[in-house]
Amino acid sequence: MSRLSRCLSVRDFELEARRILPRCVEGYVCGGTEDGASLDESVRALRDIGFRPRGLRVVDQRSSQVSLFGQVYAMPVGFAPTGFSAIVMHECDLALARAAQDAEIPFIISGASSVPLERLQEATGKRCWYQAYLPGNVDRIAKLIARLRQAEIPVLVVTIDTCVGANRENLQKLAFTVPFKMSPGVVLDGMRHPRWSLDVFLRTLLGSGVPRFANLYEEIGPPITQEPPNGFRGERDKLSWEHIRWIRENWPGKLVLKGVMHAEDAQLAAEAGVDGVIVSNHGGRQLDGCISPLQALPDVVAAVPAGLPVMVDGGFRRGSDVLKAVALGASMVFTGRPQLFGAAVGGNAGIRKVTEIFRSEISTNMALLGCRTLADVTPDLIAPVRPACAA
């Protein structure tokens, strides 16, 4: 049985990917910050919600389609932005963009990605969303926006939970740094994982050279082994609501804030004129000890005007997880690590299989819940899972 056919679930992909990837790459993809509490909480919160399914409803013709920002997507699952994905698969950004396009789901280009956004746009009929790590500096923001307008990016996603780099102790222990630095430990790690060294490391170096900070600012930046001009995180700690209001006046496309966890921030976002928010704690990779995005979701939904799309990410590994978020009012669920696990295990085919797993699980579980469309996935179908009563 091939590696790919052994993987029947996203968890299977994760286990297989952890075997293939060098420890420092595994640590980068899978890890969280400090004690990993935000990461654990996202998974636990999904288990704390159970279904209350309905029976005897005709469910023969189901559709998981969703309309968002003038597009119809095949299901309420999209690819979240994941920086440095080139260390998981050669030209991973391109593979993710194409797989998303074929599956008719949204794909968000990361500001820390390495295939130029213009090339990704070209490959996908100009459908990619773009995620920005913005400095609190209007001149620099304006230059990036000019590039995004030129590339006809339809949706600009501004990440608001990374004003400073988080305390990623696991990466310090594995000597993984940004900018990327070769150390004897990293070389040894690569040698112990020959498949990765050949398929990813050597193929990338020989094919296109050291990946670059291609999409961080207004032009293609230096290789990821060097600090970009103004620094990777330069002036991010100065970003404020004033900048968001300025962007709203100067960006004609859709504007989304990612990393909204507080109802008041959701309200401020709506007042600033954004078109949507993504409830997220950055996959447990920024502030540790956060409540789960799933727990934050209902308050955010209640805080924004009806009809303003509220999206969510963090810990979604099953179609049933996605449906729980939909029942709580999410318009779209984004995944970060799952498609990277797919890429590590099976390249293009791996990413596509992960996407297909979500599609098929959503369809099956909609039927088992008694739902034909996502509009049928209503809050009454879920309830908190209570601890068993003592005898």
Ligand X SMILES: Cc1cc2nc3c(=O)[nH]c(=O)nc-3n(C[C@H](O)[C@H](O)[C@H](O)COP(=O)(O)O)c2cc1C
Give the separation between CA 223 and CA 236, rounded to whole angstroms.
21
> Up-side HSE of residue 5: CA atoms within 13 Å toward CB?
2
- Write down the least CB distance from residue 119 to ligand X, Å: 18
Give yes or no for residue 221 binding ligand X (CB under 6 A). no
Give the separation between CA 179 and CA 213, rounded to whole angstroms.
10
Give yes or no for residue 282 binding ligand X (CB under 6 A). yes
Give yes or no for residue 258 binding ligand X (CB under 6 A). yes
Q: Active site includes 282?
A: yes
CB-based contacts of 120, cutoff 8 Å, min separation 6: 93, 94, 97, 109, 128
CA-CA-CA-CA torsion sign (316, 293, 158, 209)? negative
Q: Strands 66-68 and 71-73, how do they pair?
A: antiparallel
- Write down the least CB distance from residue 163 to ligand X, Å: 12
| Count of positions (residues) in the chain | 391
Nearer to ligand X, 228 or 371 (CB): 228
Given the residues 90, 193, 243, 282, select the one marked as catalytic.
282
Give yes or no for residue 300 binding ligand X (CB under 6 A). no
Q: Among all chains, which residue has been given the structure tokens 């990413």?
A: 351
Task: Classify residue 123 as exposed, middle or buried by CB count within 10 Å of its CB (0-12, 13-18, 19+).
Answer: middle
- Write down the least CB distance from residue 224 to ligand X, Å: 12
Nearer to ligand X, 190 or 283 (CB): 283
Nearer to ligand X, 114 or 335 (CB): 335
Q: SS3 for 250?
A: helix
Exactly one of 32, 314, 347, 350 binds ligand X (CB under 6 A); that residue is 314
Considering only residues 99 through 138, tell me which ones interact with ligand X, judged by CB under 6 A.
110-112, 131
- Write down the least CB distance from residue 342 to ligand X, Å: 12
The residue range among 180-188, 204-212, 308-316, 345-353 that interacts with ligand X, by the rule CB under 6 A, is 308-316
Considering only residues 62 through 81, tell me which ones interact with ligand X, judged by CB under 6 A.
80-81
Exactly one of 283, 309, 319, 329 binds ligand X (CB under 6 A); that residue is 283
CB-based contacts of 148, cutoff 8 Å, min separation 6: 117, 130, 156, 251, 253
Q: Is 212 within 8 Å of 222 (Cβ atoms)?
A: yes
Considering only residues 154 through 183, tell me which ones interact with ligand X, judged by CB under 6 A.
159
Give yes or no for residue 32 binding ligand X (CB under 6 A). no
Residues that bind ligand X (CB under 6 A): 28-29, 80-83, 110-112, 131, 159, 258, 280, 282-283, 285, 313-316, 335-337
Residues serving a catalytic function are 282
